């Protein structure tokens, strides 16, 4: 079995190309390369190729391209009756790009008693820079002016690369995901990339695509020119679902 040191190491130039995704390991699924940095240009180049960073504090930066790929077609996101009722009750208020850093910090917080996180301080800074340049966005869920859930990720062309979501109140992250998908659908986005699937995402409409199929869609979607304006004033949330 290959170790990390057997994989390609990225150099200092953020514009240097990544290895072909076909070279990613089967175990651990998708591990492709290590090293480099989180410079915004390198991050954008990675995502355009279907590659993303994922590592823990104290590790080198690890770059991944798993297969199959978990995605949601925005028009196919599933809204349960319970979640619909909770949204329509008026308990939660939705915004976009008004508390990006806070959403990222919420996603980086410990879960289920686990004190670790892969959203390191360097990762938070990198996504913060991408937010400042209009590439990274967040959807926020509020209750009584308190942030109780949200989701963030990168929009490149007409694909949204979902990074993480959090919830401190019941259904808050689900409502953020559904609101995001509904807005992406209205803007003509083709996919929401979930990276790696799990049972929770599958119940909300996620499907798995093989590497060739995902990269076929990816090539077309990332080349679709889109605005990099803030979503704050552009997001049109429906008052009822």
Give me the phi and psi of 188, to 5 degrees please: 80, 25
Task: Indicate if 50 and 163 belong to the same structural domain.
Answer: no
Bridge partners (DSSP) of residue 114 are 111
Total number of domains constituting the chain: 2
Q: What CATH number is associated with residue 197?
A: 3.40.630.70
pLDDT of 75 > 70? The answer is yes
- How do residues 180-200 score in pLDDT, each as one tens digit? 999 999 999 999 999 998 888
Q: Residue 236: what pLDDT?
A: 84
- How do residues 200-210 score in pLDDT, each as one tens digit? 899 999 999 99
Give the residue with greater pLDDT, 149 vs 90: 149
Does residue 166 form part of some domain? yes
At residue 30 the predicted structure's pLDDT band, cuts being 50, 70 and 90, is very high
Bridge partners (DSSP) of residue 192 are 72, 160
Task: Indicate if 201 and 187 belong to the same structural domain.
Answer: yes
Rounded to whole angstroms, what are the CA distances from 71 to 74, 108, 219, 234?
Answer: 9, 22, 15, 24
Task: Indicate if 32 and 100 belong to the same structural domain.
Answer: no
Q: Which of 30-34, 178-182, 225-229 has the lowest average pLDDT?
A: 225-229
Residue 230's CB is within 10 A of a number of other CB atoms, namely 16
Signed CA dihedral, 189, 195, 201, 202: sign only: positive
Rounded to whole angstroms, what are the CA distances from 194 to 34, 42, 159, 172, 225?
Answer: 21, 20, 11, 18, 22
């Amino acid at each position: 079995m290959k170790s990390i040191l057997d994989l390609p190491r990225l150099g200092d130039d953020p514009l240097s190309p990544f290895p072909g995704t076909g070279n990613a390991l089967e175990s651990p699924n998708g591990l492709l390369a290590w090293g480099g940095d989180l410079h915004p240009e390198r991050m954008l180049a990675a995502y355009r190729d279907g590659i993303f960073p994922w590592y823990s504090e104290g590790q080198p930066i690890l770059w991944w391209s798993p297969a199959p790929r978990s995605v949601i077609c925005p028009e196919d996101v599933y809204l349960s009756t319970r979640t619909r009722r909770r949204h329509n009750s008026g308990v939660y208020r939705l915004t976009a790009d008004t508390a990006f850093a806070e959403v990222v910090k919420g996603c980086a917080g410990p879960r289920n008693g686990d004190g670790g996180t892969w959203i390191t301080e360097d990762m938070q800074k990198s996504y913060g820079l991408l937010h400042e340049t209009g590439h990274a966005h967040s959807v926020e869920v509020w209750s009584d002016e308190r942030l109780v859930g949200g989701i963030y990720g990168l929009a490149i062309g007409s694909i949204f690369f979902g990074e993480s979501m959090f919830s401190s109140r019941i259904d808050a992250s689900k409502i953020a995901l559904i609101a995001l998908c509904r807005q992406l659908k209205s803007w003509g986005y083709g996919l929401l990339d979930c990276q790696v699937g799990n049972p929770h995402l599958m119940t909300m409409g996620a499907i798995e695509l093989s590497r060739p199929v995902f990269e076929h869609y990816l090539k077309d979607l990332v080349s679709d020119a889109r605005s990099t304006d803030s979503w704050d004033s552009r997001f049109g949330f429906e008052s009822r679902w």
